[in-house]
Amino acid sequence: MKCPFCASPESKVVDSRPLEENNSIRRRRECLECHGRFTTYEIIEEFHPVVVKKNGSKELFDRNKLLTGLMKACQKRPVDPEAIAKEVEAEIRNSLKQEVTSSQIGDMVMERLREADDVAYVRFASVHREFKDIDKFMEELTKLKSERDAAK
């Protein structure tokens, strides 16, 4: 932190206190060069990725929306939709991309569901990939079964 008095880049923290619901910190600093004291504030920078939907519209990422879809797919299945939602959200935030498409999010979810539970995976895939008829549904089931058989 640059000293406001002598512009020295070296200072030490003398006192540190959380402010306003623990989302910022007030720090008292002392310049190691001129010994002047000054105050700095640190605020957590929020990152809000935008989801680009299939129709081209954009909206802020909403974890609850993701969780709702996962809960429907995982209903009465031994899968924790909360854990999958957290993993997907973490992957999106860690990518630091300002925009992510809804199909990319769906693919991330499907990847995790494929490993966790076949039934939940097929349920989610039927909505995400918009199966129009039973042939597409059977095609996905056949592909999944052949992958499982090859893994054994």
Residues 14 and 28 sit within 8 Å (Cβ to Cβ): yes
Residues 9 and 2 sit within 8 Å (Cβ to Cβ): yes
Q: Tens digit of pLDDT per residue, the chain (152 long)? A: 899 999 999 999 999 998 877 778 999 999 999 999 999 998 877 778 999 999 999 999 999 999 999 999 999 999 999 999 999 999 998 988 899 999 999 999 999 998 999 899 889 988 888 777 788 878 888 888 888 788 77
Report how far apart the first and last C-alpha atoms of the chain are (Å, whole number). Answer: 58
The vertex-73 CA angle with 136 and 130, nearest 5°, equals 30
- Which of 63, 142, 144 shows the shortest CA–CA distance to 108? 63
Helices (H), 22-80: 63-73
- Return d(Cα 126, Cα 138) in angstroms, integer: 11
- Which of 144, 73, 43 shows the shortest CA–CA distance to 88? 73
Residues 87 and 112 sit within 8 Å (Cβ to Cβ): yes
- Return d(Cα 61, Cα 143) in angstroms, integer: 31
